[in-house]
Amino acid sequence: MRVGIGHDTHRLEAGRPLILGGVRIEHPRGLAGHSDADVVLHAVTDALLGAAGLGDIGDWYPDTDPAFHQCDSAVFLQETLHKLNQSGWCVVNLDVILFAQEPKLGPVKQQVRANLARLLGLAQDAVNVKAKTGEKVGAIGRAEAIACQAAVLIDQRAAPRGA
Ligand code: MG
C-alpha cells in the first residue's frame, strides 16, 4: 500500500466558470487557470501521482502546453488513474478538504463526492469531501482563492487481474 497527498490553489476571477470536482457550481466568479482550473481534480491527480511515485501534475500536464488550454481536468485524473491501473495499482480511498470562504460548499459537498467516486470508479463511502472556510483570514478568507488538499491510499494487491 502507498499513500499520496495533493494540494492546489487557484485564484477566483470574474467571468470564469466555477468547477469543483467536475461539478459546475453557479457563482459570479470562477477559478482562473490554463485548464478549467478545477482545484479539486488537480489536487486529487497530484495525490495519485504522488502515491505511485510519478511526479506531479505539472510534469504531465504543463500549463505552457496549448493542448491543455481550457482542458476538462477530468482528463488529467482519468489518464492518471489509467496509468496507475496499468502498473497494478488501484485506489482504496480518497479524502479531500476544500478551502473556500465563498461560495458556501455545504450544499455541493455531496455532489462533488459523488462525482469523484464516479470518476475513480469507487463506492461513495470510499470518497470523503470536507469543506472549510478561511475564517476570513488570508487569501482564502478574503475569497481571493479556493484551495484543496487530497489524501489517497492505493493498493497493489487489490489490483484487478491483468491490469
Ligand atoms: Mg491547478
CA–centroid distance, 157 to ligand 1, in Å, is: 31
Structural contact between residues 34 and 76, judged by C-beta atoms closer than 8 angstroms: no
Q: What is the mean pLDDT of residues 75-103?
A: 97
CA–centroid distance, 49 to ligand 1, in Å, is: 14
pLDDT at site 162: 54
CA–centroid distance, 160 to ligand 1, in Å, is: 30
Q: What is the DSSP letter of 8?
A: E
Q: What is the mean pLDDT of residues 80-88?
A: 96
Distance of CA 20 to the CA centre of its chain: 8
CA–centroid distance, 63 to ligand 1, in Å, is: 9
CA–centroid distance, 105 to ligand 1, in Å, is: 19
Rounded CA-CA distance 48/95 in Å is 12
CA–centroid distance, 2 to ligand 1, in Å, is: 23
Q: What is the residue whose three cell numbers read 488570508?
A: 138
Expressed in angstroms, the distance from the first to the final Cα of the chain is 16
pLDDT tens digits for range 40-79: 999 999 999 999 999 999 999 998 999 889 899 999 999 9
Task: Work out the burial of residue 26: count CB atoms within 10 Å of its CB; fewer than 13 is exposed, 13-18 middle, 19 or more buried.
Answer: exposed
Helix (H, G, I), strand (E, B) or coil at 119: helix
One-character DSSP codes across 75-103? HHHHHHHHHHHHTT-EEEEEEEEEE-SSS
CA–centroid distance, 22 to ligand 1, in Å, is: 13
pLDDT at site 161: 54
pLDDT tens digits for range 104-150: 999 999 999 999 999 999 999 999 999 999 899 999 999 999 999 99
Letter string b/e over residues 63-89, b meaning 16 or more CB atoms within 10 A of that residue's CB:
eeeeebeebebbebbbebbeebbeebb
CA–centroid distance, 125 to ligand 1, in Å, is: 26
Rounded CA-CA distance 72/128 in Å is 22
CA–centroid distance, 90 to ligand 1, in Å, is: 23
pLDDT tens digits for range 8-36: 999 999 999 999 999 999 999 999 999 99
Model confidence at 80, pLDDT cuts 50, 70, 90, reads very high
Helix (H, G, I), strand (E, B) or coil at 67: helix
